Amino acid sequence: MGIEEAYSRFFHPLLEKARILWQTGSLSRAQEQFIRNVIRNLIIIEDNLLKPGASAAKPAIAMINTSDLLSDSNFLFYKYVLKKRGFDVVFTGGILPAPEVIEIYKIKPFEYLVVNSSSFDFARNRVAYFNNLGKSLMIKKIIFTDSPEEAEQKYYDKMIIIRNPAGFLKLIDDLV
């Protein structure tokens, strides 16, 4: 089946269910974290098994998490998917304030930006900030992942909001 299909069909729904069961008191925090850590480790192993592509690399993509509610497993999965498809991925791994994107760009220019938005405030000022950032850095697309909003919306031409790993896979396969 492969890690991509397994994650989309089984692991992601399991993580969602474990989180809900923990929040309702049906699972302990330790049990929820155990499930999350097993899946996280599987993704890290698969990521480490990837061999560098022999062909010309695709454009650079920076990945940042601006949320303190990191959907860690999903974000690691997205990194794996991008690397597997030959993108040059800049992944800091920690929680960063949005202005740090400029610092990353100074060191390693990138064409695409992936932002973990699991608890992102889609207030006009935050969205406008990323829109202006995208214009000033000439970013082709800004992808907000794991949006908590029901409807996938398009705020600006260069911004895309996705809700889950299946949506991310489809988007990335259509990206370049």
Answer whether residue 56 shows pLDDT above 90.
Answer: no
Q: Please, are residues 116 and 165 in contact by the beta-carbon 8 Å criterion? A: no
In this predicted model, what pLDDT tens digit does every residue of 63-86 receive, in sequence order? Answer: 988 766 556 788 899 999 999 999
Q: Please, are residues 158 and 111 in contact by the beta-carbon 8 Å criterion? A: no
Q: Which residues contact 161 (CB under 8 A, 6 or more apart)?
A: 117, 143, 144, 147, 149, 152, 153, 154, 155
Answer whether residue 120 shows pLDDT above 70.
Answer: no
In this predicted model, what pLDDT tens digit does every residue of 98-114 receive, in sequence order? Answer: 788 899 999 999 999 99
Secondary structure of residue 169 in the 3-state scheme = helix
Question: How much is the pLDDT for 73?
Answer: 84
pLDDT > 90 fraction of the chain, expressed in percent and rounded: 46
Instruction: Give the span between the Cα atoms of 119 and 148, in whole angstroms.
Output: 7
**Element housing 92 (H / E):** strand 87-95
Secondary structure of residue 17 in the 3-state scheme = helix
What pLDDT band is residue 35 in, cutting at 50, 70 and 90? very high
Q: Domains of the chain (ranges plus CATH)?
A: 53-175 (3.40.50.280)
Q: Please, are residues 112 and 133 in contact by the beta-carbon 8 Å criterion? A: no
Question: How much is the pLDDT for 20?
Answer: 92
The phi and psi torsions of 44 (rounded to 5 degrees) equal -60, -40
Answer whether residue 3 shows pLDDT above 60.
Answer: yes
Answer whether residue 55 shows pLDDT above 60.
Answer: no
Instruction: Give the span between the Cα atoms of 101 and 166, in whole angstroms.
Output: 26
Q: Determine which of 69-78, 113-122, 155-164 has the lowest per-residue pLDDT on average.
A: 113-122
Mean pLDDT over all residues of the chain? Answer: 84
Q: What is the DSSP string of 23-74?
A: HTTSS-HHHHHHHHHHHHHHHHHHHHHPPPPSSPPEEEEEEEE--SS--HHH
Answer whether residue 60 shows pLDDT above 70.
Answer: yes
In this predicted model, what pLDDT tens digit does every residue of 121-137 receive, in sequence order? Answer: 665 567 777 888 888 88
Answer whether residue 90 shows pLDDT above 90.
Answer: yes
Q: How many CB atoms are located within 10 Å of the residue 91 CB? A: 18
